[in-house]
Amino acid sequence: MNEKKFPLAKDRLEELSKKYPTPFYLYDEKAIRENARRIIKAFSPFPAFKEHFAVKACPNPFIIKILAEEGFGADCSSLPELLLADMAGIKGEDIMLTSNETPAKEYIKARELGAIINLDDFTHIAFLEKTFSSLPELVSFRYNPGPLKEGNAIIGKPEEAKYGFTREQLIEGYKLLKAKGVKRFGLHTMVASNELSLDYHLETGRLLFELAVEIKNKCGVSIEFVNLGGGLGIPYRPEQEALSWEVLAAELKKLYDSIIVPSGLGGMGIHTEYGRPITGPYGWLVARALHSKHIYREYIGLDACMADLMRPALYGAYHHITISGKENASGTETYDIVGSLCENNDKFAVQRKLPKIETAAEAAGGGNTDGGDFVIIHDAGAHGRAMGFNYNGKLRCGELLLRCDGSVIQIRRPETIDDYFATLNPEDLDKF
Ligand SMILES: *Cc1c(COP(=O)(O)O)cnc(C)c1O
């Protein structure tokens, strides 16, 4: 069990929504910081540890800056993500570029920032050499274990995944880098997404540790760090259990002590690229119930839609929903909670038992979104606002931060119609 709580009471939300109309995302700074500290403490028995926060999960520089203050780095996969990490104050090798089908300009920016470059493919060794006059001092490779590792629902089977080097290519690759004068080496993999099984993550650790030893033996190369990637799940459903950072780190340390230490690689560092468990449980999408509709099913229409949070529509993902002020009321109704997009999969919840919801249309007699219950969509802090889009002329909502002192600030304003038209030039249209 994990309790689905929202940090603000209904009267506070009423007050807040006068200044910042719904929908909006709200993140809890205190909870993010406490979780980050737990992670760093849990992994402290390793000779070196660095969590490179996967920027794509929550690409807001305020959030990244909070994480940087707690000692996290950043994992980036695009030029704008590199710029976000830099903007948030993350420097040098605390930034890792794990991208694929990488354009030269990303490598150039990464190198300018002194970031760790993690290559996705063997051919990128030559591509790097063409891009720069010399190879960087430190290079990391992404490993794709293929049939050696089972995949999971979101990311698929490794042998069908487009990422990474085969085992043979890795061995060849490290030999080649060594011959070309590269001095420092990293090893990375990312094989799962939203995986809650401890054993799965330990197996990934074992796989990389054994591979680091094999690379040492076959290539005469000492791996400086292994990066276990991201993919650690969170308990979206109340009946699920979170993975314990303490147990994960302690079990990984046992594997490390039995595989890495005897091989003479004992100073090797552990890096991770977690995104979802870093911000996911500490962010909520807050919307208002706008309309109710009674046809073959009972519908509640929100002022948010899948352009604000795509996971339910994209993966059929479960997001827990509570109604502000009715947390303890019983689920007497069965609703489909939907958005306004002209796509029938724009549903935050299907046939969900919830307390009776009052809509703005009922409260105000229609027309506006004052009044009506606040619908809180939980665990939206990662891969939430980040996946937003503008299809159907939808404008993405803003982001608020609940500070440690209880105050609330806006850390991204909502999009405006002007933003939507910013890429069009009406003067060209007049001449057309
Ligand atoms: C998406 C991604 C992550 C983060 O994944 P989470 O599931 O959010 O932890 C880390 N590394 C890479 C390469 C990714 O693509």
pLDDT value for 183: 97
- CATH code: domain of residue 417: 2.40.37.10
Residue 297: inside a domain? yes
How confident is the model over 302-341, as pLDDT tens digits? Answer: 999 999 999 999 999 999 999 999 999 999 999 999 999 9
**Is the model's pLDDT at 39 over the cut of 70?**
yes
Indicate if 249 and 292 belong to the same structural domain.
Answer: no
**Is the model's pLDDT at 122 over the cut of 70?**
yes
Between helix 198-219 and helix 167-179 the angle, nearest 10°, is 40
Question: What is each CA distance from 7 to 13, 26, 57, 209, in whole angstroms?
Answer: 10, 9, 21, 40
Q: What is the identity of the amino acid at 20?
A: Y
Ligand 1, atom 10, residue with closest C-alpha: 230
Indicate if 302 and 257 belong to the same structural domain.
Answer: no
Residue 9: inside a domain? no
**Is the model's pLDDT at 148 over the cut of 80?**
no
Ligand 1, atom 5, residue with closest C-alpha: 230
DSSP code at position 287: E
Residue 385: inside a domain? yes
Total domains present in the chain:
2
User: Separation of 221 CA from ligand 1 center, angstroms?
Assistant: 27
State the Cα–Cα distance between residues 30 and 16, nearest whole angstrom.
19
Q: What stretch of H or E contains 208? A: helix 198-219
Residue 209: inside a domain? yes
Domain end (from 227, 247, 274):
274
pLDDT value for 416: 98
Indicate if 264 and 321 belong to the same structural domain.
Answer: no
Indicate if 207 and 296 belong to the same structural domain.
Answer: no
Report the C-alpha dihedral over residues 279, 51, 71, 139, rounded to 10 degrees: -140
Rounded to an integer, the average pLDDT of 132-156 is 83
> Which pTM value belongs to this model?
0.96
pLDDT value for 362: 87
Indicate if 269 and 324 belong to the same structural domain.
Answer: no
Indicate if 256 and 150 belong to the same structural domain.
Answer: yes
**Is the model's pLDDT at 367 over the cut of 80?**
no
- CATH code: domain of residue 146: 3.20.20.10
Residue 325: inside a domain? yes
Q: What stretch of H or E contains 75? A: strand 73-76
Domain end (from 247, 274, 301):
274
Q: Is the CB of residue 287 less than 8 Å from the CB of residue 302?
A: yes
Indicate if 167 and 294 belong to the same structural domain.
Answer: no
Indicate if 101 and 215 belong to the same structural domain.
Answer: yes
pLDDT band at 154 (very low <50, low <70, confident <90, very high): low
Rounded to an integer, the average pLDDT of 92-119 is 97
Rounded to an integer, the average pLDDT of 17-46 is 98
Indicate if 244 and 365 belong to the same structural domain.
Answer: no
Number of C-beta neighbours around residue 195 at 10 A: 22
Rounded to an integer, the average pLDDT of 136-146 is 96
Rounded to an integer, the average pLDDT of 374-401 is 97
Q: Which residues of 206-346 form beta strands (DSSP E)?
A: 223-227, 269-272, 283-294, 298-302, 321-323, 333-338
Indicate if 289 and 140 belong to the same structural domain.
Answer: no
pLDDT band at 168 (very low <50, low <70, confident <90, very high): very high
Residue 346: inside a domain? yes
Supply the DSSP string of 318-376, one letter for each residue.
---EEETT-TTS---EEEEEE-SSSSTT-EEEEEEEEPPPPPHHHHHSSSS-SSSPEEE
Ligand 1, atom 13, residue with closest C-alpha: 98
Indicate if 311 and 403 belong to the same structural domain.
Answer: yes
Counting ligand 1 atoms within 8 A of each CB, the residue from 52, 77, 118, 190 with the most, and so the one to mutate, is 190
Residue 38: inside a domain? no
The number of the ligand 1 atom at minimal distance from the alpha carbon of 274 is 9
Residue 113: inside a domain? yes
Q: For ligand 1, say whether the CB of 59 is within 6 Å of any of its atoms.
A: no
How confident is the model over 181-203, as pLDDT tens digits? Answer: 999 999 999 988 999 999 999 99
Place of tokens 């958005």: 339
**Is the model's pLDDT at 151 over the cut of 80?**
no
pLDDT band at 153 (very low <50, low <70, confident <90, very high): low
Domain end (from 238, 258, 274):
274
Question: What is each CA distance from 148 to 159, 188, 207, 248, 273, in whole angstroms?
Answer: 9, 15, 9, 22, 21
How confident is the model over 200-249, as pLDDT tens digits? Answer: 999 999 999 999 999 999 999 999 999 999 999 999 999 999 999 999 99
| β-strand partners of 197 | none
Average pLDDT, the chain: 95
Indicate if 286 and 251 belong to the same structural domain.
Answer: no
Containing structural domain, residue 383: 281-421
pLDDT value for 161: 87
pLDDT band at 156 (very low <50, low <70, confident <90, very high): low
State the Cα–Cα distance between residues 192 and 244, nearest whole angstrom.
18
